[in-house]
Homo-oligomer: A and B are copies of this chain.
Amino acid sequence: MKRTLAPLFLAAAVLGPLRADEGMWLYNNVPKERIRSKYGFEVTDPWLEHLRRSSVRFNSGGSGSFVSEDGLVLSNHHVGADAIQKLSSEGRNLLRDGFHAKRTSEELKCVDLELNVLESIEDVTARVNSAVAPGLAPEASAAARRRVMSEIEKESLDRTGFRSDVVTLYQGGAYHLYRFKKYTDVRLVFAPEQQAAFFGGDPDNFEFPRFNLDVCFFRVYEDGKPARVSHHLAWSKQGAAEGELTFVSGHPGRTSRALTVAELEFLRDDQFPHTLGLLKRREVLLTSWGARSAENGRRAKDELLGIQNSRKARDGGHAGLHDPALMQAKREAEAQFRKRLKADPALASADAAFDRIASAQAAMAPISRRYRLLESGHGFNSELFGIARRLLRSSEERGKPSGERLREYSDSARESFEQALFSAQPIHSDLEILTLGDSLTFLCEQLGTSDPLVQAVLAGRSPRDRAADLVKGTRLADVAERRRLHAGGASAVGGSQDAMIRLAGIVDAEARALRKQMEALDETKKLAHSEIAAARFRLEGASQYPDATFTLRLSYGVVKGYESQGVTVPAQTRMAGMFERSSAMEGRVPFDLPPRWLKRRSSMRLQTPFNFVSTHDIIGGNSGSPMVNRAGEFVGIIFDGNIDSLVLDFGYDEVKARALSVHSSAILEALRSVYGAKELVAELGTGRRRG
């Protein structure tokens, strides 16, 4: 699961009546009564506290859990991949070959991994709200709110030493103070080969049945020694069983369930088709070019994998938006809610806010094409163009007070801005010409060749020839040249004859104007959404769950298969299936198996459950979340969603959407039979490290 859906719109509170197992619930607002009445299970506070303190947040974006009192942390391989990659070097490819520390002294300290454990939640809504005088203009009110939130965070940090974040929930309906214990000495303990973790690669991504050992183990250290943690999850003997009630504790990143119908229709009819068309165009371009030589293939690979992942994710989300049931439910819920707003004169303005959103959306439609092409860069798919624009804008923006600049040029963003600008990442001329030439062709198609700006951009050349001219006419591939221009500021950049900088100059006036228009419309929508959210909170309080915000949430559900196009998909796979799938695919990449797996096959218990699906309400960020049974024991780990789960960004679906997990038994079996990791197996069994 590598969802990279960029934030499209502001998320707001959740609309509509809850469906069966719906909800990413706050730990201080778990629907105990619903769970009791549906499943006959009593969620107690100690039970919740144990699960909360066993849950781990990966600040790089993901979830995990403690599985021994000696600080052993389990997460997904794809959550840990960035840290694993950073521990690799030319002679040591840990992603490809895997890693196994037999003793703690062999565990590898990660470069920059930070893990958090949620210590406490405190409702600070009253204090935040009381600090914002009523009747303030929106900007002043936002500033006052930011000020009091910083105060609360600082006080808490000073008093407790815990990382302290005030989080905005229900789009401003509530403010909670989250305190975290921070671990910054995190060491790699075990990782399988990426072949085993991501067996089936892109073809099987977001699909089920699956056969992925998408796990890895880290250990948190304090004072140079394995940390002793107060809570960890015991390992279930059986693991998850079909039909069993289970819970997922993790950090869903972001959902957009409160988009209005007008916004969803825009996504369905405009944004998604545009983005998908572009992704497919780029996928074909890179695939075709990549097939021409081994070196081309290598250069294109990373971007191609990213594109394929995005394309698959968005195709799934788009299909969900085309589901009349989802849209009808949204429509009815919106109508009902607006009826309640209309009934209360004090809330009439929130009702009108829906119309303001629709108007802003409608105003975005006619400029969104030019905006995407010129400002979002869809017409200039080139690293060098991006660098040229950054240099040009930075030279202009630096003269303004930080608060008046485009946000990516503010003082606080300087560090990451310069890191990107001066990155030594290699830029390949041939690939640049290819992608820029194709995107200039796209620009012609979208705006028409006779458009004056297009004419200025092409300068009398064909799109491909112009791309070649531009790439040959720029020195920005050279980091030193970028530094020189950046240091020279407006005079150096403004006077530059560099072809790419001049191109950025041709586009910039209109691009900036479009951005200004779009941001104003987006601000209108944000304000309207806050107003709706406030009204909703007034009517419903916390009877609902807020949109995901990368805060700890609890989901509940059952292990359960589903129907897909008339075919029943069983709830679980077994380890034997991985070998069967590999041989059905003739062992071709990405269905090839690691040598270790092939060698140990005969000693494996092949009937062990491997991956399974369940009805839990999850989203990107939940990767690595532990799943526990009623007894609070670890029974599986979330690692993906099926293709129909890609609609969960917009609304829960219990019919076809499923969360995908690695079964706890498969983890043990692989550690034992394939990797001979006896000491890890023992630690998971006893909950403590031997010796």
Mark A residues whose CB is within 8 Å of B.
202-204, 207, 265, 268-269, 273, 277, 280-281, 283-284, 287-288, 291-294, 308, 311-312, 318-319, 322-324, 430, 433, 441, 444-445, 448-449, 458, 460-465, 468, 472, 565-566, 584-586
**Shortest Cβ distance from A583 into B: residue:** B294
Known: A322-B444, A444-B322, A449-B268. A292 touches B203 (CB 8 A): yes
Instruction: Report the minimum CB–CB distance from A327 to chain B (whole Å).
Output: 9
Instruction: Tell whether, in the assembled complex, residue A294 and residue B586 are in contact, meaning their CB atoms are under 8 Å apart.
Output: yes
Instruction: Report the minimum CB–CB distance from A439 to chain B (whole Å).
Output: 13
Q: State the copy count for this chain.
A: 2
Instruction: Tell whether, in the assembled complex, residue B462 and residue A322 are in contact, meaning their CB atoms are under 8 Å apart.
Output: yes
Instruction: Tell whether, in the assembled complex, residue B284 and residue A280 are in contact, meaning their CB atoms are under 8 Å apart.
Output: yes
Instruction: Tell whether, in the assembled complex, residue B463 and residue A565 are in contact, meaning their CB atoms are under 8 Å apart.
Output: no
Closest 7 CB pairs of A and B: A203-B291, A273-B445, A280-B284, A323-B462, A322-B462, A468-B565, A203-B292
Partner of A288, one of B288, B312, B463: B312
Instruction: Tell whether, in the assembled complex, residue B322 and residue A203 are in contact, meaning their CB atoms are under 8 Å apart.
Output: no
Instruction: Tell whether, in the assembled complex, residue A324 and residue B461 are in contact, meaning their CB atoms are under 8 Å apart.
Output: yes
Q: Which of A281, A283, A291 has the most CB of B within 10 A?
A: A291
Chain B residues near A448 (CB-CB < 8 A): 269
Instruction: Tell whether, in the assembled complex, residue B584 and residue A293 are in contact, meaning their CB atoms are under 8 Å apart.
Output: yes
Known: A281-B277, A287-B287. A462 touches B269 (CB 8 A): no
| Bound Cα distance from A293 to B433, whole angstroms | 35
**Shortest Cβ distance from A430 into B: residue:** B565
**Shortest Cβ distance from A207 into B: residue:** B292
Known: A281-B277, A448-B269, A468-B565. A441 touches B207 (CB 8 A): no
Instruction: Tell whether, in the assembled complex, residue A319 and residue B464 are in contact, meaning their CB atoms are under 8 Å apart.
Output: yes
Partner of A585, one of B284, B293, B311, B586: B293
What 10 new A-B contacts, CB under 8 Å, besides A269-B444, A294-B584?
A: A203-B291, A207-B292, A280-B283, A280-B284, A319-B441, A322-B444, A322-B449, A322-B463, A324-B460, A324-B462
Instruction: Report the minimum CB–CB distance from A261 to chain B (whole Å).
Output: 12
Chain B residues near A280 (CB-CB < 8 A): 280-281, 283-284
Instruction: Report the minimum CB–CB distance from A317 to chain B (whole Å).
Output: 12
| Bound Cα distance from A460 to B283, whole angstroms | 32
Q: List 6 A-B contacts (CB under 8 A).
A: A202-B291, A268-B449, A284-B311, A319-B464, A322-B463, A468-B566
Known: A294-B586, A322-B444. A288 touches B565 (CB 8 A): no
Chain B residues near A277 (CB-CB < 8 A): 277, 281
| Bound Cα distance from A585 to B322, whole angstroms | 42
Chain B residues near A585 (CB-CB < 8 A): 293-294
Instruction: Report the minimum CB–CB distance from A529 to chain B (whole Å).
Output: 24
Instruction: Report the minimum CB–CB distance from A293 to chain B (whole Å).
Output: 7
Instruction: Report the minimum CB–CB distance from A307 to chain B (whole Å).
Output: 10
Known: A322-B463, A462-B319, A463-B322. A203 touches B288 (CB 8 A): yes
Instruction: Report the minimum CB–CB distance from A284 to chain B (whole Å).
Output: 4
Known: A312-B288, A441-B318, A468-B566. A269 touches B203 (CB 8 A): no
Q: Which of A265, A465, A584 has the most CB of B within 10 A?
A: A465
Chain B residues near A283 (CB-CB < 8 A): 280, 284
Instruction: Report the minimum CB–CB distance from A649 to chain B (whole Å).
Output: 17
Instruction: Report the minimum CB–CB distance from A512 to chain B (whole Å).
Output: 27
Chain B residues near A441 (CB-CB < 8 A): 318-319, 322
| Bound Cα distance from A339 to B291, whole angstroms | 49
Instruction: Tell whether, in the assembled complex, residue A565 and residue B433 are in contact, meaning their CB atoms are under 8 Å apart.
Output: yes
Q: Which of A269, A441, A460, A565 has the most CB of B within 10 A?
A: A565
Chain B residues near A458 (CB-CB < 8 A): 324
Instruction: Report the minimum CB–CB distance from A469 to chain B (whole Å).
Output: 10
Chain B residues near A202 (CB-CB < 8 A): 288, 291
**Shortest Cβ distance from A320 into B: residue:** B462
Chain B residues near A565 (CB-CB < 8 A): 430, 433, 464, 468
Chain B residues near A460 (CB-CB < 8 A): 324
| Bound Cα distance from A433 to B567, whole angstroms | 13
Instruction: Report the minimum CB–CB distance from A133 to chain B (whole Å).
Output: 45
**Shortest Cβ distance from A323 into B: residue:** B462
Instruction: Report the minimum CB–CB distance from A500 to chain B (whole Å).
Output: 17
